[in-house]
Amino acid sequence: MTKNEALRALPAVEVLLQHPQVQTLQSAYGRSLTVAVTREVLQAARERILKNNGAAQAPGAEQLAKQASRLLSKLTTPSLQSLINATGVIIHTNLGRVPLSQAAREAMMAVAKDYNTLEYDKRRGKRGSRSIHASDLICRFTGAESALIVNNNASALLLILSAFAKRKGVVISRSQLIEIGGGFRIPDIMKQSGAKLIEVGTTNRTHVRDFADAIEDESNRAALLLRVHHSNFRIVGFTTEPTLDELAALSRQHDLLVVDDLGSGALLDTADFGLGHEPTVQESLAAGADLICFSGDKLLGGPQAGIIIGKSELVHKLARHPLTRAVRPDKLCLAALSTTLLHYLRDEATQQIPVWRMISMPIAEIETRATALAQAVRERSKLTVEVIPGESTVGGGSLPEETLPTHLLALQVANIEKFVRSLRAHNVIARIQDNRVVCDPRTILNKDDKQLVDALVKSAPS
Ligand SMILES: *Cc1c(COP(=O)(O)O)cnc(C)c1O
Residue 361 within any structural domain of the chain: yes
Cα 99 to Cα 108: distance, rounded to the nearest angstrom: 13
Contact 197, 345 (CB under 8 A): no
pLDDT over 80 at 182, yes or no: no
| Same domain? 243 vs 364 | no
CA of 180 to the centre of ligand 1 (A): 7
CATH assignment at residue 195: 3.40.640.10
Tell me the mean pLDDT in the region 255-259: 98
Write the pLDDT tens digit of every residue in 116-135.
999 999 999 999 999 999 99
197 and 220 together in one domain: yes
Residue 257 is assigned to a structural domain of this protein: yes
Answer whether residue 52 shows pLDDT above 90: no
Residues 274 and 188 in one domain: yes
pLDDT in tens, 411-452: 999 999 999 999 999 999 999 999 999 999 999 999 999 999
Q: Are residues 322 and 390 in the same domain?
A: no
Domain stops at, among 11, 42, 76: 76
Same domain, 240 and 380: no
Residue 55 has pLDDT above 80, yes or no: no
151 confidence band (pLDDT: 50, 70, 90): very high
Domain count, the chain: 3
Centroid of ligand 1 to alpha carbon of 263 (angstroms):
5
Residue 306 CA: nearest ligand 1 atom is 7
Q: Are residues 330 and 373 in the same domain?
A: no
Report the atom number in ligand 1 closest to the C-alpha of 396.
Answer: 1
187 and 111 fall within a common domain: yes
The answer to whether residues 202 and 303 belong to one domain is yes
Whether residue 343 sits in one domain with residue 226: yes
Mean pLDDT, rounded, of the chain: 96
**Is residue 97 in some structural domain?**
no
Position 399 confidence tier, pLDDT thresholds 50, 70, 90: confident
Ligand 1 pocket test, pick from 91, 151, 175, 184 with the greatest ligand atom count within 8 Å of Cβ, gives 184
The whole-angstrom separation of Cα 427 and Cα 366 is 21
Query: Is pLDDT at 329 greater than 90 in this prediction?
Result: yes
Nearest-atom index, ligand 1, CA of 296 = 7
Which CATH number characterizes residue 408's domain?
3.90.1150.110
Mean pLDDT of the 241-250 span: 96
Q: Quick check: is 53 in a domain?
A: yes
Nearest CA to ligand 1 atom 1: 263
Confidence tier at 184 by pLDDT (50, 70, 90): confident
* pLDDT recorded at residue 234: 83
What lines the ligand 1 site, CB under 6 Å? 152-154, 180, 184, 228-229, 231, 261, 263-264, 295, 306, 397
Q: Whose CA is nearest to atom 14 of ligand 1?
A: 263
Q: Which of 224, 212, 191, 190 is nearest to 314 (CA)?
A: 224
Q: How far is the CA of 4 from the centre of ligand 1 (A)?
A: 59
pLDDT tops 90 at residue 268 = yes
Q: Are 88 and 442 in contact (CB under 8 A)?
A: yes
Q: What is the mean pLDDT of residues 169-182?
A: 91
User: 362 pLDDT exceeds 80?
Assistant: yes
Using CA atoms, how far apart are residues 378 and 394, in angstroms rounded to an integer? 30
What beta strand segments (E) does 257-345 contain? 257-263, 291-295, 306-310
Residue count of the chain, please give it: 462
In a domain, 162, yes or no: yes
pLDDT at 160: 98
Same domain (yes/no): 166, 309: yes
Looking at the fold, whether 245 and 304 belong to one and the same domain comes out as yes
Sheet of strand 431-433: strand arrangement: 89-91, 384-395, 403-412, 436-439, 431-433
* Residues spanned by the domain of 402: 84-92+357-459
Same domain membership, residue 155 and residue 299: yes
Residue 181 has pLDDT above 80, yes or no: no
Whether residue 299 has pLDDT greater than 80: yes
> What phi and psi, each to the nearest 5 degrees, are found at residue 303?
-80, 170
Confidence at residue 396, expressed as pLDDT on a 0 to 100 scale = 85
Assign 53 a pLDDT band (cuts: 50, 70, 90): confident
Average pLDDT over every residue of 181-193: 89
Average pLDDT over residues 268-290: 96
Tell how far the Cα of 425 is from the centroid of ligand 1, in angstroms: 30
| Domain final position from 352, 378, 412 | 352
pLDDT category at 374 given cuts 50, 70, 90 is very high
Last residue of a domain, one of 327, 352, 377: 352
pLDDT tens digit string along 340-360? 999 999 999 999 999 999 999
pTM to 2 decimals? 0.93
Report DSSP letters for 148-204, one per residue: EEES-HHHHHHHHHHHHHTTSEEEEEGGG--B-STT-BHHHHHHHHTPEEEEES-SS
pLDDT above 70 coverage of the chain, percent = 100
